[in-house]
Amino acid sequence: MLALTRALALCALLCSVHAPCPPRCECSEAAQTVKCVSKELRAVPTGVPAYTRTLFITGNQIRHIGPESFRGLDQVTTLSLTNNRICEVKAHTFAGLARLRSLDLSNNQLSVVAPEAFTVLNQSLRELNLSRALYNHSSVTDLAISLHWSSLGNLRVLDLSDNSLVYLPPRVFSHLSGLRRLRLSNNSLVALQNSTFSGLEHLEELDLTLNALKVLPEEALRELDSLPRVALLLRGNPFTCTCGIESFAAWLNGSQERVRDAGSLLCAFPASLRNTSILSVGSRTLGCYQRDSRAELALQTSYVFLGTVLGFVGLIFLFVLYLNRRGIKKRVYDLRDACREVWDGYHYRFEADSDPRLSQVSTHVEL
């Protein structure tokens, strides 16, 4: 009897150590890794072993994820959910993953991102990959709200590349005070708004390559200057080298240590300056010549003199009209009488043509 009890205890111990692997998944206890790759799964599989630290669930058909999807996985540090066609992330989906440090949601179709969707217990999350994850550029509003409410103060890396983003709301990253690297490459950003990067005092790398930036006005340059520690990447933007780019060219020449790819920034338009380095662009190259203060003062003086002369000529003209007011009045009356006579003649002829009796008399006279 004692031997049977020991055997049962041993079996229970072995079963607890060698936890079963979920169907259609591959488990490695030695590597503490579970992989459920391209298995046409419709939901996050249950029964993932408690020892799991790295969990790959990729290439499936999972449309929605919520708090119930990851219960009992408090040892997971790395979670990859790429290419699952996920369209909705509910609030507190990852809240139970107390040790989660890296979350990869790239290559999905997120259209609904709830507030507090990325909240993790103890704010342990360090890296969030949302590359090619947003369904369309309008999803950025949901994302901004989620970044605001998800308690991501310890996040270090945020990847938002390849999302067709056209704009970024003001202060969208203001609650990511610990962020070090921000990737915004291969989007469609046309401008950098005021306060876009507010709150990112510790940012060390900002990737803005392959966007649609044509010029960076002084407002955008001040926004970039508000990030004292950041290293910038700007290549692959269609910069338009007209007179409006002078301030950017001057700023770039003084910021080559911060802009890592400054030497590779080229003009895309106009055709005459295509592939010209922006570092070499200046007022002479663009044909923008600034007037000095003396020339501008002389021009203003000439305008004042011209206005005075025209005013004097107008006064003389009015004075001449006043001296000839009687003759002008007589001419106006004569013109009025002449017009009246012409009008009366036309009126008489019209009455004659419209009276049938007068037309009969004229017919008899002709006979």
- Gap between the Cα atoms of 249 and 277, Å rounded: 10
- Gap between the Cα atoms of 232 and 230, Å rounded: 6
Res 15 pLDDT > 60: no
Give every CB contact of residue 2 below 8 A, 6+ residues apart in sequence.
none
Could you give all domains of the chain from N- to C-terminal order, each with its CATH number?
20-155 (3.80.10.10)
- Gap between the Cα atoms of 260 and 232, Å rounded: 6
Res 182 pLDDT > 80: yes
Structure-derived torsion over alpha carbons of residues 70, 75, 77, 83, reported in degrees to the nearest 10: -30
Residue type, 286: L
H helix or E strand, kind and range, residue 129: strand 127-129
| Tens of pLDDT, residues 302-321 | 788 888 888 888 888 887 77
Instruction: Say if CB 133 and CB 163 are below 8 A apart.
Output: yes
| Tens of pLDDT, residues 189-204 | 999 988 999 999 999 9
Which spans in the chain are helix H? 2-17, 140-149, 218-225, 246-253, 283-286, 293-323, 325-354, 356-366
Looking at residues 81-89, what average pLDDT do you find? Answer: 97
Report percent pLDDT > 70 for the chain.
Answer: 86
What is the pLDDT, as a whole number, of residue 336?
Answer: 79
Q: Please state the pTM of the whole predicted model.
A: 0.75
- Gap between the Cα atoms of 320 and 238, Å rounded: 62
